[in-house]
Structure formats: C-alpha cells, structure tokens
C-alpha cells in the first residue's frame, strides 16, 4: 500500500509562477492591471478568439452572459444536468428556467440529438459542456440550434481542440481558472468571444457598469470620473491571480501533454478490469482533449461507487466526483419537480462515476499505485 496520500488533484505551481506573483506584490499595483491585460491577450492567442475578458470566476462569466443577453423570467436555457451546479444556479437566479438535456452514456457529452429533443419556442440559450476536456460536437449542436445562441462551457477545456481548432474559436466560450482546473489563478475565469457587442457588455457589467476602470483612469489619461451606464457587478480579477495564470499558460502544452501521458497509462492498466469503465472518446470528429479529468464508471453489482471511493481512500488514494447530476439535487428536485428517470444516461453516470487522481506533477508510478489499489478493491 502507498505510504503517502495521493490527492485526486494538486495545482502545478513552479518557481517561475511564484516569482511572477511576488513581482506583482512588489510592483505597487495588485488588483486588475497589466497582468490582467496579458492574461486576456494570452487567452485570445491560445483559444483563437477576438475578445477576452478576465473575471473572478467562470461562474461570474455565466452570470454576466445571462445579464448581457437579458435572459430572465419566461426564458429557458438548455444545459446538461451533468455539469457543475454554478451554471444551473446562475440560470435560476436570473429568473429563467434550466432545461436539462441528457448526455451520451459513454462520453458524458451533450449531443445534437439530446439538445434537439428539449428545444422549445422559449429556448434563449444553449450551454454545452466540454466534459473532462473532451469537446462536444459544436458544429452539430449549432446546426440543431439554428438561431439560438450556443455558448460553450469550456471550464475543463483550455487546450482542447475540436476539428483542429481550439474550442470556442468561432463563437463564445467561458474558461475557469479555479484551483483544480488545468491552468489556475487560484480562482478566476475568462470570457472569450468573437462578438464585440457581447464582449463590451460583459466588460461593462464586470465592473459596476462603468466604462473605464481604475487602471485605465490611472494609466491612460482617461477622465478621473467614474460614470455608471447600467448597474453592474464587481467581478474583476487581481493581478496576483492573473500573473499566476499567465505564468502557467506559458507551459500549457507541457501541462496538458503530461496529463495525456498519465491518462494513457490509466487506460492501459485498466483495460483488463471490465468493472471499471473509463469514458469513451467522442466519435465522428477529430479532436484533441485537454484531459482535465480521468473519469471511470464503477459498473459492478458487487460494489457501489461510494464504497469504491472509500476503499481507495483507505489505501491512501484520493478521488473526486464530477459530477453529481444537478436535476436530482434537493433544491432543483423540490422547486422544479424533476424526478429520477427523466435523464437515463445522466443518472446512470451520476450513480457510478469517480474521477481518479490526475495532475501534471503525478508520476507514472503513482498511476501504477492507483491501478494496483483498484485491482485489490474490486477483487474483494
């Protein structure tokens, strides 16, 4: 058994990252400033979009998106129930109704068919998730969406390519820089789009609804007067956070390559354990995933997922659960009347999934330890 606990994830922070943050602390300008601008520039380059707005979280990005699109009571927003609850919460808080599409049972991605099945005349927005860093079929989804806007939840997908181009390249995508994501700022998010009006609105509502922020006033000779155009929020990112993300982004290729190597090793070692089923790759289009998570389904009548996680923990191996489906969580069940059985593939996975340890500083031998522990646990 392992002597030392292996966490499910750990941020990849190196000396250069630490130096970058320290430099900001010494610089005299610690909230949003030059490092935020660099972060936005880097995101435009990496994700191939025209406009990027750095924010305090991806959740803030969804909030601002709904505000900018004036989505509210009477509107419906389609998203998978197999997602992080933040998106669903923002939809509900806007006054709109979340409408859940099912996912493919083997990839856990929303599909054009599953989305088409729930579109109504009230649908205002569709938010597919690039789950675990594998891209949803955005072209197919756009085709069924017609004129309804599609915004990609790319929280897992910085460094994910779909048909040879970065996800979000020809539309709008929201990235997360939360501590467990592939690239982190501790907390943070980036709203990326090719739509100038949408970018302007998100930038306006990000900072109180005034058009010129403190850095602009201080450094670009703008008027010292702040003027509210339309009341907004306060969702800016500090330069300490932006500097950390900028520093990490310089090695995104290596970070994601390391994740891929570990994932390939998992696949190899789990191949002869039919009870533990990794997700399948999406079929029908070329893609290159960011390998944000390594998700398996515990699919045996002899052991449930929660026991599996507890048994691994006894063996000093941490795991995660991404995600417990949203529609069966208490608030949504009770206020919106969702019942078990309405989203069969989502519920099948919600009951069985578990995320195995995967982070860039993990060694190949750590993967071997996890596989050996799994073998022992399922043999019991």
Ligand X SMILES: *Cc1c(COP(=O)(O)O)cnc(C)c1O
From the list 94-102, 148-156, 328-336, 372-380, the region that binds ligand X by CB under 6 A is: 148-156
- In whole angstroms, give the CA distance from residue 271 to residue 105: 19
Tell me which residues are annotated as active site.
Answer: 181
Q: What is the nearest approach in angstroms of ligand X to the Cβ of residue 17?
A: 18
Nearer to ligand X, 123 or 176 (CB): 176
Nearest CA-CA partner of 54 in 156, 222, 174:
174
Per CB under 6 A, does 83 bind ligand X? Answer: yes
- In whole angstroms, give the CA distance from residue 172 to residue 137: 15
Per CB under 6 A, does 206 bind ligand X? Answer: no
Nearer to ligand X, 240 or 374 (CB): 240
Nearer to ligand X, 137 or 369 (CB): 137
- In whole angstroms, give the CA distance from residue 175 to residue 114: 23
Nearer to ligand X, 185 or 374 (CB): 185
Contact pattern for ligand X over residues 294 through 333, marking x by CB under 6 A: ----------------------------------------
Q: What is the nearest approach in angstroms of ligand X to the Cβ of residue 55?
A: 8
Burial of 330 (0-12, 13-18, 19+ CB in 10 A): exposed
- In whole angstroms, give the CA distance from residue 66 to residue 68: 6
Number of residues located near ligand X, criterion CB under 6 A: 14
Question: Given candidates 17, 76, 137, 153, which one binds ligand X under the rule CB under 6 A?
Answer: 153
Question: Given candidates 63, 67, 156, 327, which one binds ligand X under the rule CB under 6 A?
Answer: 156
Per CB under 6 A, does 236 bind ligand X? Answer: no
Per CB under 6 A, does 129 bind ligand X? Answer: yes
Question: Given candidates 64, 141, 155, 244, which one binds ligand X under the rule CB under 6 A?
Answer: 155
Nearer to ligand X, 47 or 371 (CB): 47
Question: Given candidates 32, 87, 107, 111, which one binds ligand X under the rule CB under 6 A?
Answer: 87
170-189 binders of ligand X (CB under 6 A): 176, 178, 189
Read off φ and ψ for residue 129, nearest 5 degrees: -110, 130
- In whole angstroms, give the CA distance from residue 125 to residue 304: 36
From the list 152-160, 238-246, 263-271, 355-363, the region that binds ligand X by CB under 6 A is: 152-160
From the list 151-159, 200-208, 227-235, 264-272, the region that binds ligand X by CB under 6 A is: 151-159
Q: What is the nearest approach in angstroms of ligand X to the Cβ of residue 51?
A: 19
Mind spelling out the 3-state secondary structure of 210-229? ECCCHHHHHHCCCCCCCCEC
40-79 binders of ligand X (CB under 6 A): 57-59
Tokens standing for residue 31: 């909230």
Residues that bind ligand X (CB under 6 A): 57-59, 83-84, 86-87, 129, 153, 155-156, 176, 178, 189
């Amino acid at each position: 058994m392992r002597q030392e606990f292996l966490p499910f994830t750990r941020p990849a922070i190196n000396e250069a990252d630490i130096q970058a943050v320290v430099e900001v602390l010494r610089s005299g300008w610690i909230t949003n400033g030059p490092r935020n601008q660099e972060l936005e520039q880097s995101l435009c380059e990496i994700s191939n979009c025209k406009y990027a707005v750095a924010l305090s979280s991806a959740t803030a990005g969804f909030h601002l998106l709904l505000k900018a699109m004036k989505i509210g009571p009477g509107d419906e927003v389609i998203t998978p129930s197999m997602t992080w609850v933040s998106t669903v919460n923002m939809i509900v808080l806007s006054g709109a109704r979340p409408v859940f599409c099912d996912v493919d049972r083997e990839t856990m991605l929303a599909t054009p068919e599953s989305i088409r099945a729930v579109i109504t005349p009230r649908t205002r927005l569709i938010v597919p998730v690039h789950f675990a860093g594998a891209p949803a079929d955005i072209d197919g989804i756009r085709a069924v969406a017609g004129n309804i806007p599609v915004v990609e939840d790319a929280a897992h997908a910085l460094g994910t390519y779909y048909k040879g181009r970065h996800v979000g390249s020809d539309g709008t995508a929201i990235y997360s820089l939360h501590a467990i994501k592939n690239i982190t700022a501790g907390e943070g998010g980036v709203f990326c789009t090719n739509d100038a009006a949408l970018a302007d609105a998100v930038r306006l509502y990000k900072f109180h609804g005034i058009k010129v922020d403190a850095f602009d006033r201080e450094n670009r000779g703008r008027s010292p007067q702040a003027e509210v155009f339309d009341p907004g929020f306060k969702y800016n990112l500090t330069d300490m956070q932006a500097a950390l993300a900028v520093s990490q982004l310089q090695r995104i290729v290596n970070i994601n390559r390391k994740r891929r190597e570990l994932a390939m090793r998992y696949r190899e070692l789990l191949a002869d354990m039919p009870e533990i089923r990794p997700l399948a790759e999406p079929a029908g289009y070329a893609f290159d995933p960011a390998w944000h998570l390594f998700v398996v389904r515990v699919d045996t009548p002899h052991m449930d997922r929660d026991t599996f996680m507890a048994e691994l923990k006894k063996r000093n191996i941490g795991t995660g659960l991404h995600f417990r489906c949203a529609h069966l969580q208490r608030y949504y069940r009770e206020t919106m009347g969702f019942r078990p059985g309405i989203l069969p593939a989502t519920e099948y996975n919600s009951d069985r999934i578990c995320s195995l340890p995967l982070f860039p500083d993990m060694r190949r031998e750590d993967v071997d330890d996890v596989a050996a522990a799994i073998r022992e646990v399922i043999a019991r």
